[in-house]
Amino acid sequence: MFFLYKGISLVIQPRSFYARDTVEVARDVLGKKLIRVLAGQQLEAIIVETEAYRHADDPASHAYRGKTKRTEVMFGPVGHAYVYFIYGNWYCLNVVARDHDQPAGAVLIRAVEPLTGIAFMQKKRNTQSLTLLTNGPGKLTQALQITKRQNGIDMTKKGQLYITDTGKQDLQIAKTGRIGISQARDMHWRFYIQGNPWVSR
DNA sequence: CACCCGATTATCT
DNA sequence: GATAATCGGGTGT
Protein backbone atom coordinates (compact mmCIF):
# COMPACT_ATOMS: atom_id res chain seq x y z
CA MET A 1 0.00 0.00 0.00
CA PHE A 2 1.14 3.50 -0.81
CA PHE A 3 -0.59 5.37 1.98
CA LEU A 4 1.39 8.58 2.49
CA TYR A 5 4.20 7.16 0.37
CA LYS A 6 7.06 9.65 0.17
CA GLY A 7 9.54 7.80 -2.03
CA ILE A 8 11.27 9.71 -4.78
CA SER A 9 11.65 8.81 -8.41
CA LEU A 10 12.16 11.25 -11.22
CA VAL A 11 12.39 8.56 -13.90
CA ILE A 12 9.71 9.32 -16.47
CA GLN A 13 7.81 6.36 -17.93
CA PRO A 14 9.22 6.07 -21.45
CA ARG A 15 6.96 6.14 -24.49
CA SER A 16 7.65 2.45 -25.15
CA PHE A 17 5.79 1.66 -21.92
CA TYR A 18 2.57 2.85 -23.56
CA ALA A 19 3.20 1.13 -26.90
CA ARG A 20 1.81 -2.18 -25.64
CA ASP A 21 -1.64 -3.70 -25.33
CA THR A 22 -3.96 -1.19 -23.66
CA VAL A 23 -5.11 -3.74 -21.08
CA GLU A 24 -1.53 -4.53 -20.04
CA VAL A 25 -0.72 -0.85 -19.70
CA ALA A 26 -3.84 -0.30 -17.59
CA ARG A 27 -2.54 -2.91 -15.16
CA ASP A 28 1.10 -1.85 -15.24
CA VAL A 29 0.53 1.88 -14.76
CA LEU A 30 -0.85 1.18 -11.28
CA GLY A 31 1.62 2.38 -8.66
CA LYS A 32 3.14 4.98 -10.98
CA LYS A 33 3.24 8.64 -10.02
CA LEU A 34 1.09 11.28 -11.68
CA ILE A 35 2.62 14.74 -11.46
CA ARG A 36 0.75 17.98 -12.13
CA VAL A 37 2.80 21.16 -12.21
CA LEU A 38 1.00 24.47 -11.71
CA ALA A 39 2.40 27.94 -11.17
CA GLY A 40 3.94 27.72 -7.71
CA GLN A 41 2.32 24.36 -6.98
CA GLN A 42 3.43 20.81 -7.59
CA LEU A 43 0.79 18.15 -7.09
CA GLU A 44 1.68 14.46 -6.92
CA ALA A 45 -0.41 11.33 -6.67
CA ILE A 46 -0.10 7.58 -7.11
CA ILE A 47 -2.29 5.89 -9.70
CA VAL A 48 -4.36 3.25 -7.89
CA GLU A 49 -7.28 2.44 -10.23
CA THR A 50 -7.52 2.29 -14.04
CA GLU A 51 -9.59 0.97 -16.93
CA ALA A 52 -8.58 0.02 -20.47
CA TYR A 53 -10.55 1.23 -23.49
CA ARG A 54 -9.56 -0.17 -26.86
CA HIS A 55 -10.88 0.10 -30.40
CA ALA A 56 -12.85 -2.14 -32.77
CA ASP A 57 -13.19 -4.97 -30.23
CA ASP A 58 -14.51 -2.68 -27.48
CA PRO A 59 -18.09 -1.34 -27.82
CA ALA A 60 -17.63 0.67 -24.60
CA SER A 61 -14.75 2.70 -26.02
CA HIS A 62 -15.10 6.22 -27.35
CA ALA A 63 -12.93 5.02 -30.25
CA TYR A 64 -15.25 2.13 -31.14
CA ARG A 65 -17.09 4.01 -33.89
CA GLY A 66 -13.99 5.56 -35.36
CA LYS A 67 -12.16 8.84 -35.08
CA THR A 68 -14.07 12.03 -34.27
CA LYS A 69 -12.95 15.48 -33.24
CA ARG A 70 -13.29 14.52 -29.58
CA THR A 71 -11.48 11.19 -29.79
CA GLU A 72 -8.71 12.03 -32.23
CA VAL A 73 -6.14 12.01 -29.42
CA MET A 74 -6.90 8.31 -28.82
CA PHE A 75 -5.69 7.74 -32.39
CA GLY A 76 -2.57 9.86 -31.89
CA PRO A 77 0.82 9.16 -30.30
CA VAL A 78 0.90 6.96 -27.20
CA GLY A 79 1.80 8.56 -23.88
CA HIS A 80 -0.33 11.62 -24.53
CA ALA A 81 -3.25 12.77 -22.36
CA TYR A 82 -6.80 12.22 -23.58
CA VAL A 83 -9.11 14.42 -21.53
CA TYR A 84 -12.86 14.48 -22.15
CA PHE A 85 -15.80 16.33 -20.63
CA ILE A 86 -18.67 14.29 -19.21
CA TYR A 87 -22.07 14.75 -17.55
CA GLY A 88 -21.98 18.49 -17.89
CA ASN A 89 -19.48 18.98 -15.05
CA TRP A 90 -16.54 16.65 -15.06
CA TYR A 91 -13.34 15.83 -16.88
CA CYS A 92 -11.78 12.41 -17.15
CA LEU A 93 -8.07 11.79 -17.71
CA ASN A 94 -6.71 9.00 -19.89
CA VAL A 95 -3.26 8.18 -21.16
CA VAL A 96 -3.13 6.99 -24.77
CA ALA A 97 -1.84 3.42 -24.94
CA ARG A 98 -2.14 0.73 -27.56
CA ASP A 99 -0.28 -2.11 -29.19
CA HIS A 100 1.57 -1.43 -32.45
CA ASP A 101 -1.12 -2.90 -34.68
CA GLN A 102 -3.98 -1.00 -33.07
CA PRO A 103 -5.28 2.38 -34.31
CA ALA A 104 -6.62 3.64 -30.96
CA GLY A 105 -6.71 2.97 -27.24
CA ALA A 106 -6.41 4.69 -23.87
CA VAL A 107 -6.23 3.99 -20.16
CA LEU A 108 -8.72 5.85 -17.99
CA ILE A 109 -7.26 6.90 -14.64
CA ARG A 110 -10.12 6.29 -12.21
CA ALA A 111 -8.49 6.98 -8.84
CA VAL A 112 -5.25 8.21 -7.33
CA GLU A 113 -3.72 8.45 -3.88
CA PRO A 114 -2.80 12.06 -3.11
CA LEU A 115 0.80 12.59 -1.99
CA THR A 116 1.82 16.23 -2.17
CA GLY A 117 -0.18 19.43 -2.52
CA ILE A 118 -2.98 17.91 -0.46
CA ALA A 119 -4.07 21.25 1.04
CA PHE A 120 -4.43 22.67 -2.46
CA MET A 121 -6.49 19.67 -3.56
CA GLN A 122 -8.72 19.97 -0.50
CA LYS A 123 -9.42 23.55 -1.44
CA LYS A 124 -10.28 22.70 -5.03
CA ARG A 125 -12.47 19.77 -3.98
CA ASN A 126 -14.06 21.60 -1.07
CA THR A 127 -13.50 18.72 1.33
CA GLN A 128 -11.09 17.82 4.11
CA SER A 129 -11.51 14.10 3.53
CA LEU A 130 -8.42 12.45 2.08
CA THR A 131 -10.32 9.66 0.40
CA LEU A 132 -13.11 11.77 -1.13
CA LEU A 133 -10.36 13.94 -2.62
CA THR A 134 -9.40 11.65 -5.49
CA ASN A 135 -11.49 8.46 -5.36
CA GLY A 136 -13.13 8.89 -8.76
CA PRO A 137 -12.19 9.95 -12.31
CA GLY A 138 -14.04 13.27 -12.12
CA LYS A 139 -12.80 13.95 -8.61
CA LEU A 140 -9.10 13.51 -9.32
CA THR A 141 -9.17 15.86 -12.31
CA GLN A 142 -10.83 18.48 -10.14
CA ALA A 143 -8.22 17.98 -7.40
CA LEU A 144 -5.36 18.15 -9.90
CA GLN A 145 -6.93 20.93 -11.99
CA ILE A 146 -6.99 18.94 -15.21
CA THR A 147 -9.36 20.12 -17.96
CA LYS A 148 -9.62 20.07 -21.75
CA ARG A 149 -6.66 22.45 -21.78
CA GLN A 150 -4.49 19.43 -20.95
CA ASN A 151 -6.00 17.35 -23.75
CA GLY A 152 -3.27 16.04 -26.03
CA ILE A 153 -0.25 16.95 -23.95
CA ASP A 154 2.69 14.54 -23.91
CA MET A 155 2.91 12.84 -20.52
CA THR A 156 6.28 11.29 -21.32
CA LYS A 157 7.95 14.68 -21.08
CA LYS A 158 8.55 16.70 -17.96
CA GLY A 159 6.03 19.53 -18.09
CA GLN A 160 2.63 20.49 -16.67
CA LEU A 161 1.42 16.87 -16.55
CA TYR A 162 3.48 13.69 -16.67
CA ILE A 163 3.98 10.22 -15.20
CA THR A 164 7.07 8.81 -13.48
CA ASP A 165 8.08 5.43 -12.15
CA THR A 166 8.12 4.79 -8.40
CA GLY A 167 10.11 1.58 -8.27
CA LYS A 168 7.23 -0.14 -6.53
CA GLN A 169 6.72 -3.75 -7.63
CA ASP A 170 4.73 -6.81 -6.69
CA LEU A 171 1.52 -4.90 -6.08
CA GLN A 172 -1.59 -6.86 -5.22
CA ILE A 173 -3.86 -6.07 -8.13
CA ALA A 174 -7.57 -6.79 -8.48
CA LYS A 175 -9.41 -7.05 -11.81
CA THR A 176 -13.13 -6.47 -12.49
CA GLY A 177 -15.59 -5.29 -15.10
CA ARG A 178 -15.51 -1.60 -15.94
CA ILE A 179 -17.68 0.97 -14.14
CA GLY A 180 -20.41 3.11 -15.63
CA ILE A 181 -20.69 1.43 -19.02
CA SER A 182 -23.70 -0.31 -20.53
CA GLN A 183 -21.92 -2.42 -23.13
CA ALA A 184 -19.12 -4.96 -22.83
CA ARG A 185 -19.58 -5.29 -19.09
CA ASP A 186 -18.14 -8.79 -19.26
CA MET A 187 -14.70 -7.55 -20.27
CA HIS A 188 -12.65 -7.35 -17.08
CA TRP A 189 -10.50 -4.39 -17.99
CA ARG A 190 -10.68 -2.47 -14.71
CA PHE A 191 -7.70 -2.77 -12.38
CA TYR A 192 -6.96 -1.45 -8.92
CA ILE A 193 -4.43 -1.87 -6.15
CA GLN A 194 -6.02 -4.26 -3.71
CA GLY A 195 -7.22 -2.68 -0.51
CA ASN A 196 -6.39 0.92 -1.33
CA PRO A 197 -8.87 3.40 0.21
CA TRP A 198 -9.21 5.48 -2.97
CA VAL A 199 -10.79 2.79 -5.09
CA SER A 200 -13.91 4.36 -6.61
CA ARG A 201 -16.22 1.41 -5.93
C1' DC B 1 -31.08 22.40 -35.54
C1' DA B 2 -33.23 18.93 -32.47
C1' DC B 3 -32.69 15.05 -30.07
C1' DC B 4 -30.45 11.64 -27.07
C1' DC B 5 -27.41 10.34 -23.67
C1' DG B 6 -23.10 9.65 -21.26
C1' DA B 7 -15.95 6.01 -19.07
C1' DT B 8 -19.97 10.96 -12.89
C1' DT B 9 -20.96 13.01 -8.57
C1' DA B 10 -23.46 14.67 -4.54
C1' DT B 11 -27.23 14.12 -1.99
C1' DC B 12 -30.77 12.33 -0.64
C1' DT B 13 -33.78 7.77 1.41
C1' DG C 1 -29.78 2.08 -3.39
C1' DA C 2 -31.94 5.77 -6.23
C1' DT C 3 -31.91 10.02 -8.62
C1' DA C 4 -31.32 14.92 -10.16
C1' DA C 5 -28.03 18.00 -12.09
C1' DT C 6 -25.88 19.61 -16.34
C1' DC C 7 -24.06 20.33 -21.17
C1' DG C 8 -21.18 19.08 -25.05
C1' DG C 9 -20.56 15.48 -28.52
C1' DG C 10 -22.49 12.63 -31.96
C1' DT C 11 -25.98 11.68 -35.05
C1' DG C 12 -29.64 12.36 -38.12
C1' DT C 13 -33.03 15.78 -40.23
Whole-prediction pTM: 0.96
Instruction: Give the pLDDT mean for A10-16.
Output: 93
* Collapsed DSSP state (helix, strand, coil) of residue A72: helix
A147 touches strand C (CB under 7 A): no
pLDDT, tens digit (0-9, with 9 covering 90-100), for A53-64: 999 999 999 999
Closest residue by Cα to residue A5 from A41, A34, A29: A34
CA distances from A91 to A6, A36, A167 (A): 27, 15, 29
pLDDT tens digits, residue range A20-56? 999 999 999 999 999 999 999 999 999 999 999 999 9
Rounded CA–C1' distance between A86 and C9, in angstroms: 10
Mean pLDDT, chain A, rounded, equals 95
Banded pLDDT at A148 (limits 50, 70, 90) = very high
User: What confidence tier does A5 reach under pLDDT thresholds 50, 70, 90?
Assistant: low
Q: Does residue A127 sit in helix, strand or coil?
A: coil
What is the CA A31 to C1' B1 distance in angstroms? Answer: 47
pLDDT tens digits, residue range A73-82?
A: 999 999 999 9
Give just the sign of the alpha carbon dihedral A101, A98, A8, A160.
positive
Q: In strand B, which positions have an atom below 7 A from any protein CB?
A: 6-10
